[in-house]
Amino acid sequence: MATFFEEESHTFSEYLLVPGYSSADNVAANVSLKTPLVRFARGEEPQITLNVPMVSAIMQSVSGPKLAVALAQQGGLSFIYGSQSIADEAAMVREVKSYKAGFVVSDSTLTPEMTLDDVVELLGRTGHSTMPVTEDGTPHGRLCGIVTSRDYRLSRDPRDRRVREFMTPFDKLVVADDATSLKAANDLIWDKKLNALPIVGAGRRLVALVFRKDYDSHKSQPNELLDQHKRYLVGAGINTRDYAERVSALVEAGADVLCIDSSEGYSEWQRRTLAWVRARYGTSMRVGAGNVVDAEGFRFLADSGADFVKVGIGGGSICITREQKGIGRGQASALIDVCRARDEYFDETGTYVPVCSDGGIVYDYHMTLALAMGADFMMLGRYFARFDESPTNRVSVNGQYMKEYWGEGSARARNWQRYDLGGDKKSLSFVEGVDSYVPYAGPLKEGVEGSLLKVKSTMCNCGALDLPELREKAKITLVSSTSLVEGGAHDVVLKDANQQVSINFR
């Protein structure tokens, strides 16, 4: 006879936190969000600790090098997506590890033969008005000049005007060589009254840009997540097929931690992959595994050596696994069950294996709930896809800026390894995800700061100054569908119809 779970499964929106006593010390500035990323033995310190409990999803539309740097600056960590060639993934890891704060690799590059029309299109797509012009249009090509909004007038100039006719040419630019320090670059920017300074290497090759507006933000990154050489920490996704070659390349590129990316992790394939990495690298390379949705799955992965265990099947915003295959579990119920198993495992074995809640976070308060229910940290896809730093295009849809966001199981990503069940098949048999838009939400820094301020504020309401205290003190209640209505603006006519949307997504 099949096993029936006694309770129906629930998701975050069905719960609320009931406030506890807040002492005078319970203010957001006193709250710590530090949390372990990888397993550790009782009495020992974890090898990697996050400064904020957020990691970005292992997805093409989320975790590229730019987002990885922006998130590490805020104290979280990205897992560079594995659904690309080994060489490309390793190159992205290398890019993060070699990132020099303040030196920006342009994502808005032109060629001299492009037109004003192309400039306008690029501006709309990236939102960046400073555009280097290189011979081949690549970010590290030979620099020919720069276009900024001061170089053209949209009301006057014909749209087919060539970039070479109106750009500020190389010989009129102030540039610095690639040995220049950030401090020297900033001094030059101030002395020469520049907005951007191109850093140029041998053969006039463009290396990076340093921007005046970034100066202040580079001075204060109190939470940034750095390794012992002051480089940003970065993770990378792997699969259970080509791990022998992929892991070696990622380790060599400098990845700090790995994660097996799979829709269903309670499998022999994950056990073998974990065993291989452990045999080859010992504890010098840490690997997370998943996804599972119950205690049994957790135990299996913990016993197999997973350094953290990811929870969640079918709850992601772009996921259709539940509809396609009928597998999964409400994210909150899955998380509660697995966190209980983690605590029992710790009591029994003395080893703490952190739990990551993956997918299904929509509102900021869902984060606080996930943490209160026991998650050590959260993996977020939709949330990060909305920011400037995600790798996808910003597009205007019905007059509103959106970012593209697609699932790894969609026809667009074709990440068959994530849905692999062994055998000879090497393609996606059927889709398990969709291709979509999410409302554009500006720079990651502002978004993350805003969300975490809400998390900290709620923690204070619960009388908690750190995550273990939140777990201990949280009082969590299920809500009826009628009281859900009571929780939003109700029985009033909103003056601005967009208000509810902006409340939901801010």
Q: Which residues pair with residue 169 across a beta bridge?
A: 145
Exactly one of 144, 259, 319, 339 is catalytic; name it: 319
- Residue 20 annotated in ligand binding: no
Q: Which is nearer to ligand XMP, 145 or 409 (CB)?
A: 409
Q: Which is nearer to ligand XMP, 145 or 288 (CB)?
A: 288
Beta carbons within 8 Å of 39's beta carbon, 6+ residues apart: 46, 286, 302, 306, 307, 308, 351, 352, 353, 354
Known active-site residue 319: yes
Q: Which is nearer to ligand XMP, 81 or 152 (CB)?
A: 81
As measured in angstroms, the least distance from the Cβ of 436 to ligand XMP is 9
As measured in angstroms, the least distance from the Cβ of 408 to ligand XMP is 4
Handedness of CA 409, 411, 416, 422 (dihedral sign): positive
As measured in angstroms, the least distance from the Cβ of 381 to ligand XMP is 3
As measured in angstroms, the least distance from the Cβ of 81 to ligand XMP is 10
The span from the CA of 456 to the CA of 475, in Å, is 16
Q: Mark 98-110 as b/e (b = at least 16 C-beta within 10 Å).
A: ebebbbbbbbbbb
As measured in angstroms, the least distance from the Cβ of 248 to ligand XMP is 25
Looking at beta carbons, which pairs linking 22-29 to residues 24 or more positions away fall under 8 Å? 22/460, 22/461, 22/462, 22/463, 23/463, 25/465, 26/460, 26/461, 26/463, 26/464, 26/465, 27/460, 28/453, 28/456, 28/457, 28/460
Exactly one of 418, 460, 462, 471 is catalytic; name it: 418
Q: Which residues pair with residue 168 across a beta bridge?
A: 146
Q: Which is nearer to ligand XMP, 51 or 317 (CB)?
A: 317
Q: Mark 57-71 as b/e (b = at least 16 C-beta within 10 Å).
A: bbbbbbbbbbbbbbb
- Residue 141 annotated in ligand binding: no
Q: Which segments of 57-201 does DSSP mark as H helices, in order?
A: 65-74, 86-97, 116-126, 163-166, 182-191
Name the site residues for ligand XMP (rule: CB under 6 A).
57, 59, 263, 312, 314, 316-319, 321, 358-361, 379-383, 407-410, 432-433
- Residue 32 annotated in ligand binding: no
If DSSP codes are grouped into helix, strand and coil, which group holds residue 265?
Answer: coil
Q: Which is nearer to ligand XMP, 215 or 416 (CB)?
A: 416
Instruction: Check residue 361 and report its DSSP letter.
Output: -
- Residue 312 annotated in ligand binding: yes
- Residue 262 annotated in ligand binding: yes
Supply 51's token pair.
């400064």
- Residue 261 annotated in ligand binding: yes
202 exposure class (CB count in 10 Å sphere: 0-12, 13-18, 19+): exposed
The span from the CA of 41 to the CA of 330, in Å, is 30
As measured in angstroms, the least distance from the Cβ of 294 to ligand XMP is 16
State the greatest distance between any 2 C-alpha atoms of the chain, in Å, as a whole number: 80
- Residue 238 annotated in ligand binding: no
Exposure on the CB side of residue 143, measured as CA atoms within 13 A: 30
* Residue at shortest CB range from ligand XMP: 433
- Residue 181 annotated in ligand binding: no
Known active-site residue 339: no
Supply 197's token pair.
């300074």
Q: Which is nearer to ligand XMP, 99 or 419 (CB)?
A: 419
Annotated binding site for K(+): 314, 316, 319
Annotated binding site: 261-263, 312-314, 316, 319
Which active-site residues does the annotation give? 319, 418
